A and B are shown apart, each in its own frame.
Chain A
Amino acid sequence: MKPVILKTTNLHKNFGGVKAVSDFSFEVREGEILAIIGPNGAGKTTIFNLLSKIYEPDSGTIEFDGRDITKTSQIDVARLGISRTFQNARLFTGLNVLDNVKVALDYNARYSLIEAMLMLPRRWKYEKETSRAAKECLELLNLYEYADKRPDNLPYGLQRRVEIARALVVNPKVLMLDEPAAGLNPEEVFQLMDFLREIREKYPETAILIIEHRMDLVMNICEYIYVQDFGVTIAKGEPAEIQCNPHVLKAYLGEED
């Protein structure tokens, strides 16, 4: 079995009196695809925000690649290799698709402000490298034809794929997708599923975490599922187990009288 890459133990987060996440423990292994599902308000996005350190957890620990990242800042967590997408495709509208992908690599390029302004050799060298990596990623994911388009001129399905490309270009160890199928029509959802399978092949080392509502997508793609309801994990297991779990049915369909 592959090594555990990301692991949380007893994660808690309260907002005022509301327990958004309580006692959340999970682990994901290298190259695994794992889904967190649950009805609206179950605290799924809060879990992502805790993992990417947009929120600080009230208690509990997060462990990444064998080191404790509970106290690490959002920026450093991103640099360690936890990439994410957002629920509403937050692409940078002022930049074209290629630059959107390049910007994810930019913190890492080693040339200074002065070198950038005077066009010194190091700027050329690193700029070339960044462009090459970004183009490679776009080509790999069949998005290169849109490289110089503005993201707001693209259909929503494509925007989501560009956003995933932007998160993938840094070769992250963990990729977190926050409702990748939200707002997509059924055809686009199929394309997205193919797209995710492609990613699976092309980035075999990357562990993928998905938050989703669409059962078809989750059941088809994921290897392991956590079900959340009101901040509590009510079930976990493989897709087939989850499908007939009475707790899950109750949370999703309501109680039988």
Chain B
Amino acid sequence: MTAYQLSLVMLACISVITVSGVFTMTSLAGMFSLGQAAYMSICAYLTFVLARYLDWPIWFTAILGLLASGLVAFIISLPALKLRRDYFALLSVGFGEMVGAIVILLGKWTNAAVGFSKIPKVNGLVWIVLGITVLIVFMVRNLKYSRFGRMAIALKTDEIAARSFGINVYRLKVKIYVIASIIAGVGGICFGLRNRVIAPDSFDWSLSAEMQILLFFGGTNSLSGSAVSAASLKVLPELLKGVKLFGMELQDFKTIIYCVLIILIINFRTKGLMGEQEFSLAPIKKLAKKLNRQHKKEIAK
């Protein structure tokens, strides 16, 4: 594969990682946030700036970065998750802007708006990113089918009823918010390693909004659906590069096409393309069994 194709694969993977992070909080626990890109920013900057100035190995600073974004999420969530959902969403926008401003204030180390580009090159990055993506999706899937997933879906539907079954709503929300933010941090590190440059602009609120859009497009409660939509919708505009329609670059219409898609989805499939359905292997298994049976019959004849 060419380097360009590899970078497209990574682009898709990073999108899948960040969207599965958003999935844990929005689809499972019903917390709508427009600030998850801020955690990508926190984690990426910490990882690469520490690696650069303290000469620590990148895997070590990455762990520090992840811990830091988890810690920040924990501190933010203590007051924020006591708010009603809509106020929580508002607060998350403010938080995202604040992180961007802090990055610019610390320009001495982060190189402010110009962007921080002293990011080490990692060999075989695409395999690492692919591995991480598979791991993250696997973990989020397990979370969905565990007691935490069930309790989160319960509290999303009805908090009072959830409490009356002994579910500690607030603590569960904090836990899930922290996990979602750490996953966003993983996405941030991968983003930095792929692009080799990070700037405050790369993590502004429009990226957070994009994650939500990709999630809702794929299916509000479907992990596999939103992962597929995250990968394909992110890569699609790149593939359309150079395609011309009526003498105009199709890529220039990216935003318009996105918006039309979203309007169609919201009108005709309010829960996203897949809704609550997951892609599963069950139909394939059924087909295989059927074929097997036919095969045996033929042999019997």
Q: Which residues of A contact B (CB under 8 A)?
A: 52, 54, 74-75, 78-79, 83-84, 86, 90, 92-95, 99, 102-104, 106-109, 111, 113, 116-119, 123, 126-127, 130, 166, 170
Query: Which of B38-46, B122-130, B159-167, B189-197 faces chain A?
Result: B159-167
Chain A residues with CB below 8 A from B175, complex form: 113
Known contacts A116-B148, A117-B139, A95 near B154 by CB under 8 Å: yes
26 contacts between A and B (CB under 8 A): A78-B166, A84-B164, A86-B161, A92-B158, A94-B153, A94-B157, A94-B276, A99-B150, A103-B151, A103-B154, A104-B166, A106-B167, A107-B168, A109-B147, A111-B146, A113-B143, A113-B148, A113-B175, A116-B142, A116-B143, A116-B148, A117-B146, A119-B142, A123-B146, A170-B165, A170-B166
Chain B residues with CB below 8 A from A102, complex form: 147, 150
Known contacts A75-B167, A95-B153, A130 near B143 by CB under 8 Å: no
Chain A residues with CB below 8 A from B157, complex form: 92-94
Answer yes or no: B221 CB below 8 A from chain A CBs: yes
The residue of chain A having its C-beta at the shortest distance from the C-beta of B141 within the complex is A117
Q: Which residues of B contact A (CB under 8 A)?
A: 139-140, 142-143, 146-151, 153-154, 156-158, 160-168, 175, 179, 221, 276
Chain B residues with CB below 8 A from A106, complex form: 147, 150-151, 165, 167
| A contact face: mostly helix, strand, loop, or mixed | helix
Chain B residues with CB below 8 A from A127, complex form: 146-147
Please tell me which one of the listed residues A75, A92, A95 contacts residue B168 in the complex, with CB atoms under 8 A apart.
A75
Q: Are A74 and B164 in contact (CB under 8 A)?
A: yes
Chain B residues with CB below 8 A from A117, complex form: 139-140, 142-143, 146, 179
Known contacts A109-B147, A116-B143, A116-B147, A75 near B154 by CB under 8 Å: no
Minimal beta-carbon separation of A133 from chain B (angstroms): 13
A75 to B172 Cα, complex, angstroms: 13
The residue of chain A having its C-beta at the shortest distance from the C-beta of B175 within the complex is A113
| B contact face: mostly helix, strand, loop, or mixed | helix
A170 to B179 Cα, complex, angstroms: 29
Chain A residues with CB below 8 A from B147, complex form: 102-103, 106, 109, 111, 116, 126-127, 130
Known contacts A118-B139, A130-B147, A90 near B161 by CB under 8 Å: yes
Known contacts A74-B163, A79-B166, A92-B157, A103 near B143 by CB under 8 Å: no
Chain A residues with CB below 8 A from B146, complex form: 111, 116-117, 123, 127
The residue of chain A having its C-beta at the shortest distance from the C-beta of B147 within the complex is A106
A108 to B146 Cα, complex, angstroms: 13
A150 to B164 Cα, complex, angstroms: 21
Minimal beta-carbon separation of B151 from chain A (angstroms): 5
Please tell me which one of the listed residues B143, B150, B166, B221 contacts residue A75 in the complex, with CB atoms under 8 A apart.
B166
Q: Are B150 and A95 in contact (CB under 8 A)?
A: yes
Minimal beta-carbon separation of B138 from chain A (angstroms): 8
Chain B residues with CB below 8 A from A116, complex form: 142-143, 146-149
Chain A residues with CB below 8 A from B142, complex form: 116-119, 123
